[in-house]
Amino acid sequence: MLSRRRVVAGLAGLFLTNAIGGESAQALTKKKNNSKQNQATPAVTKQEPLRPSTLDPMVMNSPTKQIVFYAPHPDDELLSFGVIASEYVALGYEIIYVLLTSGSTSTAIKLINGELASPGNGTRFVYKGMHNPTTAGYAPLTIEDIGRARVTEFKSSAGEMNISPDHVHTYNLLKDNELKAEDVIGAMLEVVALYPEAVHWTMSTIDIHPHHRAAGEALRYISDGTPLRTAYAISRTTWDALSAERTKSTTDLPATFFFKPASDRMQRVRNAALTYNAWNPQAGSYAVGYTSVPKQFEDLDVKSDAQYAVTSPSLESVKAWIPSI
């Protein structure tokens, strides 16, 4: 992992010069500039009613009105960030999505390939029962196929959230099916170079999913002792699993905020969710997201809320009460 001194020094220089060196950051900047020149202007949506937001002021203090969301997997940007992102969009903020992995480790591959019965336990699940690739006219998917299908769902979801294609960055940082904080740090530094005054969001280090924790640890690591603005979403599964811990008096748990948007701002989120429930094998759509975690999509629609924090504890400090670490 990069030394603390190097990271802090690099970020200090970044905030002074608004740029950092390195071919990767320069390549992203060039891509960003070229995209703005070559791509058609996105369709302008109807101006939404302006009204005070109930998001905490600390996560709205970007001078440039830019918000970056780092998603460990496709669908995290919606299941954990979607409600919050929709609020930012309605308020006129510029949203940037960064995908850290293709999500090719999803267990949905066994369901789609007919090795396991699809649960079909969601009222909106597009496909119920046992898949049969042969009769359905598609070849069993490989890990690479799943990764491509999930990235396609991610980009389609971003489009439904009215996020410009040149604001969608994708990485695949998995190594031996694992995501480590040290592998995420470099990608985050590249993005911070482009958006140094944005509020940078990712998952919390208290999350029960190791990939989510790795993203949280990376952002916490590079931001500690710097002016970087950060926030951390707490996934619903983590929020539910740690409900008992939230009632305890402990300094390990960060102060959390609850957010529920106005009902009219949820339609964008619901439209984006449909991209994860699209089943059309001939077109390369396999409803991977919904097949993987149908209950989470159902909860997103019904509960329409989110939990987040503006700080995140170190992994070492939370090991005592997250048994899976």
Cα–Cα distance measured from residue 270 to residue 297, given in angstroms and rounded to the nearest whole number: 9
Take residue 270 and report the two structure tokens written for it.
Answer: 């619901």
- At residue 324, the pLDDT reads 52
Instruction: Pick the closest to residue 242 from 321, 307, 324, 325 (CA basis).
Output: 321
Residue 167 falls inside a structural domain: yes
- At residue 248, the pLDDT reads 53
Residue 12 falls inside a structural domain: no
Residue 32 falls inside a structural domain: no
Instruction: Pick the closest to residue 177 from 220, 142, 143 (CA basis).
Output: 143
Cα–Cα distance measured from residue 149 to residue 74, given in angstroms and rounded to the nearest whole number: 10
DSSP track, 25-89: HHHHHHHHHHHHHHSPPPPPPPPPPP----S-GGGS--TT-EEEEEESSTTHHHHTTHHHHHHHH
The segments of the chain whose pLDDT lies below 70 read 1-53, 118-128, 243-254, 314-325
Q: Are 178 and 210 in contact (CB under 8 A)?
A: yes
Count structural domains, the chain. Answer: 1
Residue 313 falls inside a structural domain: yes
- At residue 4, the pLDDT reads 54
Q: Are 306 and 83 in contact (CB under 8 A)?
A: yes
- At residue 158, the pLDDT reads 98
Angle at 272 between CA 268 and CA 275, to 5 degrees: 155
Q: How many CA atoms lie within 13 A of 140 on its CB side?
A: 8
Take residue 244 and report the two structure tokens written for it.
Answer: 């008992």
- At residue 50, the pLDDT reads 44
Residue 4 falls inside a structural domain: no
Residue 17 falls inside a structural domain: no
Residue 19 falls inside a structural domain: no
Residue 95: strand pairing partners: 67
Q: Which helix (H) or strand (E) holds 231?
A: strand 229-234
Record the pTM: 0.82
Q: What is the pLDDT of residues 82-126, one digit of tens each?
A: 999 999 999 999 999 999 999 999 989 999 999 987 665 545 556
Which residues 6+ apart lie within 8 Å of 47 measured at CB? none
- At residue 319, the pLDDT reads 56
Q: Which helix (H) or strand (E) holds 148?
A: helix 143-160
Q: Beta strand 229-234 with 199-203: parallel, antiparallel or unpaired? A: parallel
Take residue 268 and report the two structure tokens written for it.
Answer: 């964008």
CATH code of the domain covering residue 95: 3.40.50.10320
Share of the chain above pLDDT 70, in %: 73
Per the rule left: phi > 0, alpha: psi between -120 and 50, beta: everything else, 180 is beta
Q: Beta strand 94-99 with 168-170: parallel, antiparallel or unpaired? A: parallel
Type of residue at 195 = Y
Take residue 77 and report the two structure tokens written for it.
Answer: 């940007």
Q: How far is CA 288 from CA 107, 257, 276, in A?
A: 9, 30, 6
Average pLDDT, the chain: 81
- At residue 236, the pLDDT reads 86
Residue 7 falls inside a structural domain: no
Q: Residue 277 is part of which domain span?
A: 64-318
